[in-house]
Every structure is written in structure tokens, then in C-alpha cells.
Amino acid sequence: MFFLYNILLVLASQLVKVLALFSPKIKLFVNGRKSVFETLEAKINPEDQTIWFHAASLGEYEQGLPVMERIKQEFPNHKIVLTFFSPSGYEVRKNNPIADVTVYLPLDTKSNAREFLKWVHPDLVFFIKYEYWPNYLNELKKASLSVGIKTYLISGIFREKQAFFKWYGGFYRNALKTFDYFFVQNESSKKLLQSLGYHNVKISGDTRFDRVVSILYRDNTLNFINQFKNNTTTIVIGSSWPKDESLLVNFINESNHKVKFIIAPHNIKSEQISNLQSQITKSTILLSEKETRNLTEFQVFIIDTIGILTKIYSYADIAYVGGGFGNPGVHNILEPATFGIPIVVGPNYSHFAEATALVNMEGCISISTQSELNDAFDNLISNEDIRHEKGHICETFVQMNIGATDVILRHIGNKSN
């Protein structure tokens, strides 16, 4: 099976080069990997000590950030090397302030894995949440026997449907032997690993809670949002997709409430932004048009850029988080939750433990139809007590689940003494 995996990987590496001719995203995926080894050679010296973090995409980067920040404090003489698999992670965070070197992870071939480790030569390795590349893990295991590399999984999630737990997943199960320790989010993940004979497991929780709580202690001021809000009840719609927007636009157009709306779509391509704006009958302005305009005069503010949604949530009285009408489901609800805001989402949220918990606790409201969305918003807008109660549930939930980073760092600190 491992032989077949390597054959398929070689074929896939050729296929993506062809697909890159037709897809801008795949073109980034291919072109971004062309100079990885030259970058590593230029930025890492043979005598440097390094620590390697791997994140699949942007969400995993945010999840691992609290650990990266603490590791940088605890190991100030090490260089942090950060790799991404996806362009949606690398292109957004390639200039991040935490890593000394940020690159795409070369495809998981034996030769790539060997050359990557030759240049990076890490002392510690952290894989965030998932992505188990067998050749990288096998090469790490070999290297650890001679130079003592420690490899960890942080905020891990395991499910029965994964290849590790299938009859054909032997080479994946074998790759898990590389990990010195697994820090998982829940009891079911721990039990699944134990069923494979792995007992070097600890339930640490999810480092995303540490990440979102840290947001409270930074400067979230956006003067233009404050001007637009103008002390008016404001609904912030984050990471919306067209299926979300079809219901939201109807509510916006028909609502008689004295309320303002901020929409930060998931896709900010100009044609999609224009289409969204054309559907809204109330006075609407784009972020890119805000200069020299009096924002207090508008009722709807469309954010046609990325990177500021988290700060915008700090101005919300109510949040709608998009993605819940798609697959796998709703986007990050922890960012608005940490500000103590009641949240509304679509019907597809069960894939995410935090969303399921908050729906069950009634801090978050799941809707499936136009009438359900209308009722949820009408109730939250009209009843300030209910709004504050649900917001308090969300805030308390986040505060009660912090501490995963401390668990991980205590273990690593003990092992390095």
C-alpha cells in the first residue's frame, strides 16, 4: 500500500501541473513550491537550531499560534520554521510575525522529505490538528533515532472514518509511531488512539480557545467601524456564502428595526461583491469606498477585504457566522463567542464540537429557513435581556475551555529538563 501511495503521489504531482494552467489557486500551489529549498538554504544555517510547525491552512495556523508564541518565548535561540500545505493559508500568512521562515510544504515524496529535513534539521516538530504525511513522518522517525528529534501532534482530532482505523490503513497507522506525544481535543480521540495501542496521549483541549481569548487583550479599534455603527444595534455577518446571503438579504431588505448590518463575505471577488450589493435595497457602502464618505449615513457596510473580521466582531451586538448551509459546515464561531455575542448559524454545524456545544447550551441559534432566521433576529434585536443572556453563555463557554497551550508547554518543558 505504501508503494501504491508513492506511485499515486508522483502521478498527482504531474496532474496538478496541468491543472495549474486552468486554476489560479492550483497555480499558486505549484509555483509556490518551486523555490522552497532555495529559501530554506538561504535562511537557515547549518548551525542554527530550529523548531518546525506544520499547518494545513489558515485555520490550523490560528489554532497553533498560541503554542508558536509560547515556544518562541521558551526557546528564544531557535528559529521557527512554519509550513503550509494550502495556498489559502500560505498566501494570507506568508508575512506572519511569528515565524523566521514561512514556506509551502513540498509534496510528500521521499526525496522531498529527506531534503526538507536536511535543510531544516529541527529539534522539535509540531503538526497542528491533522495532516499526516507518511514520508515526512517516516523520515522524521529515522532522523529521531540519530539526532533525537521530538515530534508532537497538537489539538489533534481522530474519527473512526479516518484511514488509521480501516483495514487498508496500515501504513498510516505505522506513520503514527513517529509522534512522541499526541495532544488531543477530546476523550473519543484518546480512546481511538488507545485502540491502536498508543498510550502516549493526553487530552489537552483545543488551543483555538487560547487563541481567541488572546484577541480580547489586543487593540481591536477600527475607527471607521465605530463611525458606521454610531451607537446603533449592529449585526455582523461573517464569512457568508451565497446560500446564507439569500436569506440574509431578504431580512435586511424587509426589516423595520433600527439596526445596522456589516457583511464580511467569505469570497471577496469583485463580481460576487457587486452581485451582493445589487441585491440590497438599503443604503450600502463598500469598505473600499469609505474614504471621504460619511459612514453614519449608511445602513449596510460590506467588507471587501480580508484580515479584519475578528476586530469587527468586537463591535457586534449579534453575529451571524456563515458556512452553515454548505459542507463541512459553519465557519469559526469562537471569534464572536469570545466577545460575548449571541450567534446565529445555518443547519450544518454538527461537524464542529464547539458549535454543537453552543447550540445545545442555547448561546448559538441554528436556523434552516427564512422564517427561522427572521424569528431569531427579531427576538435578539427586540429583547436585550435575551441577547445578553446568550452572549454570556458564549463568553463563559470560551473562558471555561482555555488552557490547552499550558498543558502542552508543561509537558514539553518537563521533557526538555
Fold of 22-206+403-414: Rossmann fold (3.40.50)
* Position 415 confidence tier, pLDDT thresholds 50, 70, 90: low
Residue limits of CATH 3.40.50.2000 in the chain: 220-400
Rounded to 5 degrees, φ, ψ at 173 are -60, -40
157 closest CA partner among 68, 89, 63: 63
Q: Mean pLDDT over all residues of the chain?
A: 95
Cα separations in angstroms, 414 against 52, 322, 410: 19, 41, 6
Q: Which residues pair with 344 in a beta bridge?
A: 320, 365
Please answer whether residues 364 and 358 qualify as being in contact, where contact means their C-beta atoms are separated by less than 8 angstroms. yes
Helical H segments across 196-258, by residue range: 207-215, 223-229, 242-254
- 297 catalytically annotated: no
- The rounded distance, in Å, linking the Cα atoms of 289 and 331 is 27
Please answer whether residues 101 and 80 qualify as being in contact, where contact means their C-beta atoms are separated by less than 8 angstroms. yes
- Does the structure show a pLDDT above 50 at 13? yes
Give the model confidence (pLDDT) of 375-392 as tens digits: 999 999 999 999 999 999
Please tell me the predicted confidence (pLDDT) of residue 177: 94
A 10 A CB-CB count for 181 gives 18
Please answer whether residues 340 and 397 qualify as being in contact, where contact means their C-beta atoms are separated by less than 8 angstroms. no
Q: Per the residue annotation, which of 38, 41, 47, 60 is the catalytic one?
A: 60
Please answer whether residues 332 and 256 qualify as being in contact, where contact means their C-beta atoms are separated by less than 8 angstroms. no
Please answer whether residues 101 and 40 qualify as being in contact, where contact means their C-beta atoms are separated by less than 8 angstroms. yes
Q: What does pTM read for this prediction?
A: 0.88
Question: Which class would CATH give 220-400?
Answer: alpha beta
Please tell me the predicted confidence (pLDDT) of residue 322: 97
- The rounded distance, in Å, linking the Cα atoms of 136 and 366 is 40
Please answer whether residues 275 and 301 qualify as being in contact, where contact means their C-beta atoms are separated by less than 8 angstroms. no
- The rounded distance, in Å, linking the Cα atoms of 311 and 162 is 36
Segment 148-170 mean pLDDT: 92
Please answer whether residues 365 and 376 qualify as being in contact, where contact means their C-beta atoms are separated by less than 8 angstroms. yes
Q: Between 7 and 150, whose confidence is greater?
A: 150
315 closest CA partner among 238, 402, 200: 238
Rounded to 5 degrees, φ, ψ at 309 are -60, -40
- The rounded distance, in Å, linking the Cα atoms of 183 and 206 is 9
Beta pairing, strands 260-265 & 234-240 = parallel
Residue limits of CATH 3.40.50.11720 in the chain: 22-206+403-414
- The rounded distance, in Å, linking the Cα atoms of 139 and 152 is 15
- Does the structure show a pLDDT above 50 at 417? no
Give the model confidence (pLDDT) of 224-273 as tens digits: 999 999 999 999 999 999 999 999 999 999 999 999 999 999 999 999 99
User: What one-character-per-residue DSSP string does 184-203 give?
Assistant: ESSHHHHHHHHHTT---EEE
Segment 66-82 mean pLDDT: 97
